[in-house]
Amino acid sequence: MTALLASGTVASAAGPVHVEWTYCPDGLDRDRWHTAAEVWEHHRVVIDGEVMPRAPESQAPEVVYTLRLALKEAWTEHTVARVTVGEQDLLLRQSGDTLILRQAPRHRAHLDFEGILASAGMSRGNEDSWDEAGRQAVAAGLTLLREEERALLAGLAFERHPGGDVNGRFHTSVRPVVQLFDFAFQCPRGFDGDPGASLPSGTSTVLHELGHAVGRTPTIEALRQREALWRYLRGFWSRGDPFPADPPTDPADHRRRVLELQARLSVLAKERAEHEAAVARWEAGPAGLPVDELLARGLELDGKEGELRRGWGAMTPEEMLRVLDDLEGAPLGANHAWRLLLAHFRGGRAAELEAWTRWALGQDIASQAYAIVPGAIPGPTAYARTSVVESFAESFELYHLDPEALRAVAPEVHAWFARGGHLSAAAATPVVLTDEQRTTGSPQPESP
Ligand SMILES: [Zn+2]
C-alpha cells in the first residue's frame, strides 16, 4: 500500500504556489520509474548540484522513481516532494522545466525529547498516548525554533492523541496546548527538512501548530497573566472582603486611596509607638504622663484603628499594608487588580473579567501585522489560502523547515520572518483592554 499525504493540493493556475508532497511508498512501484528517459524529454535535471545531460543507465531506481513523480502529478512551479525509498531520502524541487533532486542516506538523529521539552519550559500532557514518533517530532520542531520563539512559547503544553481527522490543533480555551493526532504520523518512513539532516515527518505538523501558537502570543501572554491574576486574587478572597463600605468605582481613585491609607497607617503607627513608649516610661517610674491621660490616649488610638479595621474587614493595620503592597505588585497593575477585586466582591462588574479573557483569546498577530506583508495573502501553500491565520502557520512552518521554498514562493514573507517581524508584532500587541475593547472582545478558541 502506498500512502500519499499532502499539506496542500495542486496549485491552480492563479500563481506560483509551493505544494509539499510526502510519499510513503512501501517499495518501488515499477510503473512509476522504469522509463527514466521520459523525464529527460521534458526537463532539465540537476542531481545533487550536478546537471545531468541525459538519463544515466546506471541511475539508482529510487532516483528515477522520484523524478518520475513530477511527471505523474502535473505539478506546478516550486513543487517539493519528499520521498523515502529504501534507505534513501530524496527531495525533489521543480523550478520551471528544471527538476532539482537531492539525496542522502536515510538518517534520523535521535533527539532527547524530555531534555529539549524541559529546557524550553514546556510540558506534555496525555502521558499514556505518547509514542516515539510524537516525541521525536516535537523535539525536532522545538530544536528548529529560534531562542526568542521558544521564549515566547514557554509554558506551552503538548498532547498526543490517538485518532483524529486532522494532523494537529492549537488551542487556548484553558491554557495553550498543541495537540498532535495519529494523522500526522501516517508516514513513519517519511521525512521533513533536508536529506542528510532529515527530521521525522510529523515535524511539519509540529511547526505548523507552533506557528499558530506564535501567532497567538498575545493570547498566551494574556492567559499567563490571567492565571497569575487569579492566583493573586484567590489570596485576597481567602481573607474575606477587604474593602471599605464605599469603595472607589473609578480606578484612578485607587492610587489616591492607597496613598491616603498609607499616610493614615503611618501616622497611626507612629502615634501607637509613641504611646507604647509613654506607657513603658510610666511603668518604669513616676515620671511621664498621668495614668488617666495614658488610658484615654490608648482608647483614642484603639478607636482610630477600629475605624480602619471596620473599613477593611477584619484586617489588622499590618495586614492592610500588606494588601496595599500586594496591590502595587499585582499582575496587570494595581488598578486592574483593584477593579477585578471589586468585581468579585461587589458582583456588578464580574463580566469585565470574562470580556477581557474573551478579547485576549481572540488576539492573533497573523491577522494584524502579518496580513499586510506582500505574499501573505493568499500565502505559500494551497492550505494557506483557507485563511490568513493558516497562511501564517504555513509560512512559519516553511520558514523553519524549507526556507528555500518559502523564499522562492513568497520572498517578502521569508524576509519578514528572517528580520523577526513576527517577534516584533508579538511584542507590540498589548494584552490589557482599552475601555472599548472591554465590551467588544470576541472568542476564537482554536485553530486546526
Ligand atoms: Zn492550522
Q: How far is the CA of 177 from the centre of ligand 1 (A)?
A: 13
pLDDT of residue 225: 67
**So what's the pLDDT on residue 278?**
86
Q: 208 CA distance to ligand 1 centroid (A)?
A: 6
pLDDT, mean over the chain: 76
CA of 308 to the centre of ligand 1 (A): 56
Query: What local confidence, expressed as pLDDT, does residue 418 receive?
Result: 97
Distance from the alpha carbon of residue 324 to the mean position of ligand 1, in angstroms: 45
Check residue 35 and give its pLDDT: 66
CA dihedral 376, 221, 446, 157 (to 10 degrees): 110
- At 428, the pLDDT band (50, 70, 90 cuts) reads confident
Give per-residue pLDDT as tens, 311-347: 555 555 555 556 656 665 555 565 566 555 555 444 4
In the reported structure, the alpha carbon of residue 205 is separated from the centroid of ligand 1 by a whole-number distance in angstroms of 9
Higher-pLDDT residue of 100 and 315 is: 100
**Mean pLDDT score, 297-309:** 74
Kindly give the distance from the C-alpha atom of residue 155 to the centroid of ligand 1, in angstroms, as a whole number. 20
Q: pTM here?
A: 0.70
Least confident of 199-203, 302-306, 311-315: 311-315
Domain boundaries, the chain: 3-105, 240-361
**Winning range, highest mean pLDDT, from 348-357, 359-368, 403-412:** 403-412
Distance, CA 230 to ligand 1 centroid (Å)? 30
Question: How far is ligand 1, taken at its centre, from the CA of residue 30, in Å?
Answer: 36
Burial class (CB in 10 A: 0-12, 13-18, 19+), 118: exposed
**Out of 60-64, 69-73, 92-96, 306-310, which region has the weakest mean confidence (pLDDT)?**
306-310
The pLDDT-based confidence of 24 (bands split at 50, 70, 90) is confident
Asked which of 114-118, 318-322, 384-388 is least confident by mean pLDDT, the reply is: 318-322
Within 8 A by CB and 6+ apart from 245, the residues are: 311
* Span from the CA of 127 to the centroid of ligand 1 (angstroms): 24
pLDDT for the residue numbered 443: 34
* Backbone torsions φ then ψ of 372, nearest 5 degrees: -90, 0
Instruction: Kindly state the percentage of the chain with pLDDT values over 90.
Output: 27
Distance 376 CA to ligand 1 centre (A): 15
Ligand 1 center to residue 215 CA distance, Å?
11
At residue 405, the pLDDT reads 87
Q: What is the pLDDT of residues 147-161, one digit of tens each?
A: 999 998 988 999 999
Q: pLDDT class for 187, splitting at 50, 70, 90?
A: confident
Do 24 and 3 contact (CB within 8 A), yes or no?
A: yes
Question: How many angstroms is it from 180 CA to the middle of ligand 1?
Answer: 12
pLDDT at 246: 46
Centroid of ligand 1 to alpha carbon of 431 (angstroms): 23
pLDDT of residue 123: 95
> What is the 170 CA–ligand 1 centroid distance (Å)?
8
Cα of 392 from ligand 1 centre, angstroms: 9
Q: What is the Å distance from ligand 1's center to 445 Cα?
A: 13
Residue 5 Cα to ligand 1 midpoint, Å, equals 16
pLDDT of residue 437: 44
**CA dist., res. 120 & res. 150, Å (int):** 6
Bigger pLDDT: 445 vs 260: 260
| Statement: residue 119 has pLDDT above 70 | yes
Q: Ligand 1: distance of its center to the CA of 240 in Å?
A: 45
- 212 Cα–ligand 1 center, Å: 7
pLDDT tens for 221-249 read 776 766 666 666 665 555 554 454 444 45
Mean pLDDT throughout 349-354?
A: 50
Please indicate whether residue 36 or residue 85 has the higher confidence score (pLDDT): 85
What distance in angstroms lies between residue 110's CA and the mean position of ligand 1's atoms? 27
* Grid cell listed for 198: 532529515
- The share of the chain scoring above pLDDT 70, in percent, equals 62
